A = this chain, B = another copy of it.
């Protein structure tokens, strides 16, 4: 985690011969030592995905020079690529409304050093969770949102996020839909969590619907936020079992457990640069 001498390279491109060799050679020739590498070739879409974690401590060129070389090499193969460095801790903003379970879970995991990031600030459209932010000494910003003020308030939020150089936004049960300006600005950098049921329920009070339908499982899905709110690329999912003995309130409680677990998992994977997005899918190494 966050080792200061490591970098992680994520690449995706149309599959073709020699991809693994080309990148391995480039790194090897300049003193980069590969610590971990995973690759996946999608046989249906003929796409290639790779994650390389490597040691920089004996690199014989500068990071800028390395990135220049990568730019050239990745250009040759039409690669989409990104690199992140272990000594450049990601900066996170958490968005919340009134539910506290996911927020608490992230704050505690951060404290336990499970999440290699800096939690710079918490944004909310309600003042309610301010005291929790205080407990953990994180700046808390309230942006009250009405239909009329929404776009303006979002602009303020975006300015704040910009100022704080935020890398990742976590919607920890944030009950507002992000507008197009927001989604476009932070593509694949906003993680959302929502409940999932088998079968799916639309409309209000899904846990009550689930109760009435007598489902035996309830679940949660973490995904990158897109304009179509609950339809972005899925990062993680899980379920817990339930029975007729569980009333709607019990289902809500079980939902909390699975939501916070799944959200934390997705956030950790993002922070560890494990996730590649391709169309509506993710590859999680």
List the interface of chain A (C-beta within 8 A of B). Answer: 1, 17-21, 24-25, 27-28, 33-44, 49, 100-101, 104, 108, 111-112, 114, 135, 196-200, 211-217, 219, 221, 230-231, 233-239, 241, 243-245, 247-249, 253, 256-257, 261, 280-284
Is the pair B247, A234 in contact by a Cβ cutoff of 8 Å? Answer: no
- What chain B residues lie within 8 Å of A135 (beta carbons)? 135
Whether A244 and B34, one on each chain, are in contact in the complex, defined by CB atoms closer than 8 angstroms, is no
Are the CB atoms of B211 and A44 closer together than 8 Å? yes
Report the nearest B residue to A42, measured CB to CB: B244
Tell me whether A217 and B237 are in contact (CB under 8 A). yes
Chain B residues in 8 Å Cβ range of A221: 198-199
Given contacts A25-B21, A135-B135, A200-B199, contact A213 B257 (CB under 8 A): no
Q: Are A17 and B21 in contact (CB under 8 A)?
A: no
Contacting residues, chain B, for A19 (C-beta < 8 A): 34
Asked whether A198 lies within 8 Å of B219 as measured between CB atoms, the reply is yes
Name the 3 nearest CB pairs between A and B, nearest first: A214-B281, A21-B24, A21-B28
Give the residue of B33, B34, B238 whose beta carbon is less than 8 angstroms from that of A217. Answer: B238
Q: Are A247 and B100 in contact (CB under 8 A)?
A: no
16 additional contacts, CB 8 Å, given A49-B244, A112-B256, A217-B239?
A1-B249, A20-B28, A21-B21, A24-B25, A36-B40, A38-B39, A42-B244, A100-B108, A112-B253, A198-B237, A199-B230, A213-B234, A214-B234, A215-B234, A217-B238, A237-B241
Expressed in whole angstroms, the Cα–Cα distance for A104 and B230 within the complex equals 30
> Across the interface, do B38 and A28 meet the contact criterion of CB distance under 8 Å?
no
**CB of A23, distance to nearest CB on chain B (Å):** 9
Q: Which residues of B contact A196 (CB under 8 A)?
A: 198-199
Chain B residues within 8 Å of A282, by CB: 214, 244
Closest chain-B Cβ to A110's Cβ sits at a distance in Å of 12
Measured CA separation A214–B212 after assembly (Å): 29
Task: Return the chain B residue nearest A268 by Cβ.
Answer: B253
What are 12 A-B contacts with C-beta separation under 8 Å? A21-B34, A36-B40, A40-B245, A104-B104, A196-B198, A197-B198, A212-B281, A213-B234, A214-B233, A215-B234, A215-B237, A243-B284
Cα distance A256–B283 in the bound complex, in angstroms: 24
Selected from B35, B41, B253, the residue in CB contact (under 8 A) with A35 is B41
Give A211 to B43 CA distance when docked, in angstroms: 12
Closest to A277 in B: B214
CA distance A200 to B201 in the complex (A): 10
Task: Let me know if A261 and B257 touch, CB within 8 A.
Answer: yes
| With A24-B21, A284-B244 as contacts: A216 and B239 at CB distance below 8 Å | no
